[in-house]
Structure 1
Amino acid sequence: MERMTKLTTEDYHPESANLDLMSIAEIVQLMNEDNGKIPHAITKVLPEIEQAIEVVVNKMKSGGRLFYIGAGTSGRIGLLDAVECPPTFSTSPALVQAILAGGSDAVMVAIEGAEDDLNLGKVELEKQQLSAQDVVIGIAASGRTPFVKGALVYARQIGAQTISLTSNPQSIISDYADIAIEVITGPEILTGSTRLKAATAHKQILNMITTTTMIKLGKVYKNLMVDVHASNFKLRERAKKIVCEATNVSYEQAEEILEQTNYQVKLAIVMLLTDSTLDEAETLLSQTEGHVRTAVELKKD
């Protein structure tokens, strides 16, 4: 097994050698400056991120799912991204899933030893009936977590697409990934605490992957989240605002049309922009795989 001392994420940060002697102002300034390295690190891996998104989009168009696999902070970051997809894009909870070492209990409490079980990642993916249509993204700042490695090995064996997300170069899990995203954020000001820069960079990259994927799947019109699941007051108000922005109608008109569509924003927008009935708008969206802009252009043609 690789020694942890060889990992760049475990290296000593010279500028924070006196961290315990610094004032609060000095600590937060240093943390802010250190976080400024994140965008540059991500810029270097944008080609790999683009490749990953293309894979996810194509697999989802064919009925595939996306799985995040991680332990500790890495697993929780995957979970944060996964659970936001249903309310933001009206996706099924099964479409983007996060699997944590130690199961759901590991969300709130660290499950010691689970991340070191090489077979456990495979077991968890078997429970989800992983297939060759799916994509597995293994997340590990160190790039060596056995739980993640085992999951990627199994995923590759059955023909699923595999992607690694790490913060160390030439990491172990990258050897088992079709696409390796190695975002090198360097030593942490609190030595080895990868919940800082490394985790922040990983969260940003997951944001890029799912958001861009959903855009390409037709869940965005202009820059509006037109597939928002309006399940509460705040989201219903957001739905009205989106319809107003997209169609230039009044708040009252937006509310009226959304009542007709059961707060399905896409339908409301297409009905208003094409002067269509509910049935006609449903047909247009069906013919264009849910893309609002294409549906509107089809009606004009």
Structure 2
Amino acid sequence: MKQTGVRVTSPTEEINQRTGNLDTVSTIELVRLLNEEDLRVPGTVAELLPELAALVDVAVDRVEAGGRVHYFGAGTSGRLGILDAAELMPTFGVGQEVVIAHQAGGPAAFVTAVEDAEDVEEPTDTHDVRPGDVVIGLAASGRTPYVGAALATARALGAPTALVTSNPDAPLAALADHLLVADTGPEALTGSTRLKAGSAQKLILNTFSTALMVRLGHTYGNLMVDLQATNAKLRGRSLEIVAQATGAGPADAAAALDECGDIKTAVVYLLAREADHPAPTAARCRIALADSGGRVRQALTSLGISRN
């Protein structure tokens, strides 16, 4: 299929010359072509990592000062924002007090498309933004009015802004302090940004939120020490994390969890006991964690225990 010469407003809406015959090839060739396009995504995300790291550092400073992070998006972009934010509570023990996701059309639009919601230029949910917050707009095309309104509101309040897009010439770029362009090019299925552009957004959001949580002290090494054990599987995972972090056997890990009540305190308690710290108690370890902003390594240091 040849390019038609029709003017488009975003690279994602151009015709992809590599996939022009999707409807005529064999099924194995069809899925291979889709997969080959997907393989292009990580490289585009890698190119924007310095700017993404800068955004993480800004968000850490704002959250530590009492601010929050807002995701604003429509359609696929909005749903990816909701998905990322929703997973932070079970993984890191934080919820909307840190990251809030806004979807054009409201919660119902998560499961049923409300296509005209993205055209709203004065969304009421921007009223939730405060000067100390960070606002991240999600728009593959880089022109969604709903997202633009959120970024403009943040700008007026003096809140830092970012735009995640797949359009190098995004019209909303001027509203972003941090411009994150994953130039994924024409989609395998012309204009369907639930494909490469959506995959890029998910990688960016997962990287951003995970790095933010690490910097805020919700991990110890690469272990999820603020995991919320809300079901049998996660209760078992909690025991595994305590054991992995401390080298304790199953019985000792279970006893420490029972005594301390949470993974993080149990880890500090067992490591303090291993270091022959004088009479470590769950209460003392909990205080050390509170004084250290919930950071395990700093809590151990405050107890006179050095861990590399």
User: TM-score when scaled to structure 2?
Assistant: 0.93
Q: Deviations over 1:149-168 (max 9, x none)?
A: 01110111011111100000
- 8 Å CA contact 2:151, 2:176 repeated in 1: yes
The change in CA–CA distance for 1:4 and 1:223 in structure 2 (over 3 A counts) is farther
Q: 1:1-301 residue pairs with structure 2 within 5 A?
A: 5-120=8-123, 123-126=124-127, 128=128, 130-262=129-261, 264-275=262-273, 276-300=280-304
Q: 2:85 touches 2:95 (CA, 8 Å); kept in 1?
A: no
| Structure 2: 5+ residue stretches without partners | 1-5, 274-279
Q: 1:174 to 1:20 in 2, by over 3 A?
A: same
What SS class does the counterpart of residue 23 from structure 2 fall into?
helix
Aligned-pair CA distance for 1:107? 0.5
Residue 20 of structure 1 aligns to a residue whose secondary structure is: coil
Work out the number of aligned pairs and report it.
294
- Describe the SS at the equivalent of 1:205: helix
The offset of 1:4, in angstroms, is 7.4
> When the two structures are superposed, what TM-score results if normalisation uses the length of structure 1?
0.95
2:100 and 2:171 map into 1 onto residues whose CA distance is: 23
Partner deviation per Cα, 1:234-282 (whole Å, 9 max, x = no partner): 11111100000011111121111111222x1100000000122011101
Cross-structure match for 2:276: none
Q: Deviations over 1:183-217 (max 9, x none)?
A: 10010110000100000011000011110011011
Letter in 2 for 1:94: E
Question: Following the alignment from structure 1 to structure 2, what is the Cα–Cα distance between the partners of residues 243 and 90?
Answer: 16
- Give the RMSD, CA atoms, in angstroms: 1.2
* C-alpha contact (below 8 Å) 2:292/2:298 kept by paired residues: yes
**Secondary structure in structure 2 of the residue aligned to 1:21:** coil
Paired amino acid for 1:282: R
SS in 2 for 1:113: helix
Deviation at 1:112, TM superposition (A): 2.9
CA distance in 1, matches of 2:57, 2:224: 20
Amino-acid identity (%): 42
Alignment partners' CA distance in 1, 2:21 and 2:241: 50
Unaligned runs of 5+ in 1: none
